[in-house]
Structure 1
Amino acid sequence: MGFKAALSKPFAAFAVWQINKWKKNAVAAQQKILQNLIAQAKHTAFGKDHQFSEIKNYSDFKKNVPVQDYEGLKPYVDRVVAGEADVLWKGKPLYFAKTSGTTSGVKYIPLSKESMPEHIKAARNAILTYINETGKADFVNGKMIFLQGSPVLSVKNGINIGRLSGIVAHHVPAYLQKNRLPSYETNIIEDWEEKVDAIVGETLHEDMSLISGIPPWVQMYFDKLSEKTNGKKIGGIFKNFSLFIYGGVNFEPYRAKIEQSIGRKIDSIETYPASEGFIAYQDSQRNKGLLLLADAGIFYEFIPADEYHNENPTRLSLGEVELDINYALVLNTNAGLWGYSIGDTVKFVSRDPYKIVVTGRIKHFISAFGEHVIGEEVEQALLSVANEEKIEITEFTVAPQVNPADSLLPYHEWFVEFSTLPEDLAAFSQKVDEALQKKNIYYFDLIEGNILQPLIIRTLQKDAFVNYMKSEGKLGGQNKVPRLSNDRKLADGLERYIVH
């Protein structure tokens, strides 16, 4: 065992000891954070506008602070971007994480001197909890790659701006820098395909032990490595590759293909980072769910997803949540986001400790006919059948077809890129439809009532989603394909890739 691996074990034990202190008292930790956030922000413009000085408890907070998305906070964010201090949080942010919004165009998410360390600590602790639980630490002696956005930052009114992953690259601890790939010169390449080609060139002959990134883009990296080595498995190229860290999307649709590309089973850690804050990570290889970070400068609120669009939805603090309920996630952070609806939905799978699974996006659903089908349901319906029949899925998305050209009943149209095709696509489609009916009673009623016909699967060409994302300027980085949409924009863009 190398020096770094040996040193990491007592460091991991100490980190877990610290985590356990708040993990067992998560509700109390959340109450303390809320009080601290209010105290630190009561002299800001937002704090004055929302009478923070009068807030004594969570009930007062809910009365004073509305739930809002980026559009709701944008007037305040615009003032911060213009260079004004003490608007949402004390002083000015260290950074703006630049993200793409569907209605706002570019979004600027503030990162403060208080919030930035929490991102780094959470990423570090995800690895340390793994080391502490498994005793496996040899990977820290090998090379590590983090597939991420460019670390090049721009400056606006004295504040650095970049993609979150690029900003985080500036905060990688010194003890990891020598092990870390790709090089800065490669990392700053903006064109994703060119960048992945360069990463392949840099890593092909290295001792890669840890690989991290969003699954579809990691798969792209694996495919290029395999092409370069005449079809060699990733586990054969990197003999000591033993840990895969991922986040950003549900891994399950990609698991079979990634494991096939590697050629053997390896351990993995799921993380839930966002520009708005590092929310959770998998802290155990044995138990399901992601540990909600209750002591990381974020006060969480939860709205039952089926109430989200109500005028006055129920808002719950951590101590009030129940298991297996779909909640829209709301954040209040030490970077100045208040009542901020991040757009994700989560379910609690444990309350001791508090663990979640990410179930989808509040805006990603199909309810063209009142069925309100969500991402979790379509993923589970497709994957349950695919796993049973040993069919590999590369990528997929679903949209409603309200006005079929043949004047038949409307239906849900599934666009699927298969790695291995079903022998009988019609039978496969029927099984997926039956699985979805079991998961969503409203969808079942619409099929039974002859309002909808069963779903139709369109088989897409190889690399259809990669080519579509490339055509939209969204290839690589933090970009993700939505699992389902209530409109036809994505579906219409994919029609040219259908295999007829």
Structure 2
Amino acid sequence: MIGRPAGSLLDWCGRRRRRQLERIWRDPAATQEATLRRLVATARDTEFGLAHGFRGIRSVADYQAQVPVRDYAQHKPWLERAAAGEEAIVWPGRCRDWVKTSGTTSGDKLIPVTPEAFAGHRKGGWDALLRAAALVGGGGLMGGPMLFLGGSTALRPLGPTSQVGDLSGLVASRLPWGFRGRYSPGTACAGITDWEERLAAIAAVAATQDLRLLSGMPSWLVILFERVARQCEAGGRRLRDLGQLWPELRVLIHGGVAFAPYAQVFEEWLGRRLERVEVYPASEGFVAVQTEAAGGLTLMLDYGIFYEFVPVEDLGRATPRRHTVAEVELGRPYAVVMSTPAGLWSYALGDTVRFTAREPLRLAITGRTRHYVNAFGENVIVEEVERALVRACRRTEAETVEFTVAPAFPTASEPRGGHEWLIEFRVPPVEPDDFARILDETLASLNTDYRTKRAGSVGMVAPRVTVLPAGTFHRWMQRAGRLGDQHKVARVTNDRTMATALLREGGEGVRALGADHVARHAAVVKT
């Protein structure tokens, strides 16, 4: 199934799916209520369903009265039993497929992927592809390979009846037959478990292909661009940009991190802007797809997931308010809560969103329910950076006044991002190089995702430490009207707004740890 016939079929499927979605959007509450009824009816005789009175649930209100909002740690005892092979714990039967992911606030998570849940993930990928076809035409899209940069398709035994792997790899290993011939980098490359080896193999394949679509996390795609360019150069091909290599490439499907910091880098690497389809996939369920030209992520209501939204100010309360899709307000921040066909019940996903439009209901991801830095998929939280700083200070006899950690985004000359630690020292470290190294090693020991991104400096460069002159934080807080014991310096941020303000405040006194001045900050300071 190739070329124009396949493209025409894709276009027809897109029009048909659009009509279906428009019917759902006219009454989203009815779709969601029907979804909840199906979930509860299916799981009523599971151990979880019996413990929570599923047989007596007749409405959303009944369900919310019986099932409290729980995070992963509170689901974990149930899930561990299901992963060990017990039947009908949170969902009927045994769950064979599981994915392991590093949680932002709860460490590594083991998430079930039942056949019903997998169908939702596949549907999300299909909707993203249909949107891409709507943007550039199905014929052009199906006229060449489509590269998906994701996890390994290799699966590992989890127990006598189950297996575990990466979600993106699991999806890639079970592509519909009609798209297997267009899937790049191919099953051989995708099955390589070592990330650096897999990336090298993917780059070698991509350097020989006439790609039509790219899909992946922007931070990793930038690394791939560098590897492909290096591959071409080694083969004697000097390119102005990768647009010469991939002249028919027109569309990008992306998610995981915000695209805005990468937009300029992508344009420089590819020589043009691509059409973009943003997606919001989570291991627990595929949440949203960009369906509208105006932007925003459309909450997908027919993937088998029932959604609730908790106002951010209610987080931590014993009985938080729980709003359905019919009750949310535009512009207000909510924590995402989901009940899924994998046996997650009123599960707090850990993400915060803000709704931006209705008909269809669209949202923007605003962050995590706790402070974090996740510019490159590293999922680093406050506790981890604080522990790293304490260890570095102890080992180098340093003392700090204040500090914050911000992402340092990639540029065309340096395609790998990293972290910048902005620190006001009371006593500087006796061994500056050791200080930065200990920060790096400690974070790697505490955080699986950070360790993966830092391995071989493939995904992130080593952290850089910027020393701010005495009084910088105080002056910045004063200027921002944030003096007083009710205000704190954010230990981690996911953008550079605060970092840029601090660098301006520090002025000519800003320097790199172990150096007299920092030339790279000059432009920031002067603006």
Alpha carbons of 1:113 and 1:310: their partners in 2 closer, same or farther (altered >3 Å)?
A: same
Alpha carbons of 1:171 and 1:205: their partners in 2 closer, same or farther (altered >3 Å)?
A: same
What does residue range 389-428 of structure 1 map to in structure 2 within 5 Å?
Answer: 410=402, 412-417=404-409, 419=411
Does the 8 A contact of 1:350 with 1:356 survive in 2?
yes
Alpha carbons of 1:280 and 1:497: their partners in 2 closer, same or farther (altered >3 Å)?
A: farther
Amino acid at match of 1:283: T
Paired with 1:289 and 1:143, the residues of 2 have a C-alpha distance of 27
Matched, 1:265 2:273: yes
- What's the TM-score once normalised by structure 2's chain length? 0.73
Amino acid at match of 2:119: P
Please name the residue that 1:455 is paired with.
none
Please name the residue that 2:225 is paired with.
222
Alpha carbons of 1:253 and 1:471: their partners in 2 closer, same or farther (altered >3 Å)?
A: closer
Please name the residue that 2:363 is paired with.
356
Alpha carbons of 1:87 and 1:219: their partners in 2 closer, same or farther (altered >3 Å)?
A: same
Does the 8 A contact of 2:151 with 2:190 survive in 1?
yes
Matched, 1:172 2:175: yes
Matched, 1:183 2:175: no
Please name the residue that 2:87 is paired with.
85
Matched, 1:153 2:155: yes
Deviation digits for residues 344-370 of structure 1, max 9, x if unmatched? 1111111221111111111225xxxxx
Please name the residue that 1:312 is paired with.
319
Greater C-alpha radius of gyration: 2
Please name the residue that 2:296 is paired with.
289
Amino acid at match of 2:220: W
Deviation digits for residues 81-114 of structure 1, max 9, x if unmatched? 1111111011122411121236655422111121
Give the counterpart of 2:451 among 453, 472, 476: 472
Alpha carbons of 1:313 and 1:14: their partners in 2 closer, same or farther (altered >3 Å)?
A: same
SS in 1 for 2:348: strand
Paired with 2:304 and 2:45, the residues of 1 have a C-alpha distance of 18
Amino acid at match of 1:244: L
Please name the residue that 1:38 is paired with.
40
Deviates more, 1:405-414 or 1:234-243: 405-414
What does residue range 228-243 of structure 1 map to in structure 2 within 5 Å?
Answer: 228=231, 229=233, 230=238, 232-243=240-251
SS in 2 for 1:121: helix
Paired with 2:35 and 2:218, the residues of 1 have a C-alpha distance of 33
Does the 8 A contact of 2:406 with 2:493 survive in 1?
no
Paired with 1:409 and 1:148, the residues of 2 have a C-alpha distance of 41
Does the 8 A contact of 1:302 with 1:316 survive in 2?
yes
SS in 1 for 2:337: strand
SS in 1 for 2:370: coil
Matched, 1:208 2:211: yes
Amino acid at match of 2:270: I
- Sequence identity of aligned pairs in percent? 32
Please name the residue that 2:481 is paired with.
none
Paired with 1:395 and 1:80, the residues of 2 have a C-alpha distance of 28
Alpha carbons of 1:74 and 1:354: their partners in 2 closer, same or farther (altered >3 Å)?
A: same
- What's the TM-score once normalised by structure 1's chain length? 0.76
Please name the residue that 1:101 is paired with.
103
Please name the residue that 1:5 is paired with.
7
- 1:487 deviates by 5.3
Count matched residues: 426
Deviation digits for residues 8-53 of structure 1, max 9, x if unmatched? 2212211222222212221110011111111111111001111112
Matched, 1:163 2:166: yes
Q: Which runs of 5+ in 1 are unaligned?
A: 366-373, 380-392, 422-428, 430-459
Amino acid at match of 2:451: E
SS in 2 for 1:2: helix
Alpha carbons of 1:136 and 1:259: their partners in 2 closer, same or farther (altered >3 Å)?
A: farther
Deviation digits for residues 141-180 of structure 1, max 9, x if unmatched? 1111111111111232312321101110122111111111
Q: Which runs of 5+ in 2 are unaligned?
A: 414-419, 421-435, 462-488, 495-511, 519-527
- 1:395 deviates by 11
SS in 1 for 2:34: helix
Does the 8 A contact of 1:142 with 1:208 survive in 2?
yes
SS in 2 for 1:303: strand
Amino acid at match of 2:325: L
Does the 8 A contact of 1:328 with 1:362 survive in 2?
yes
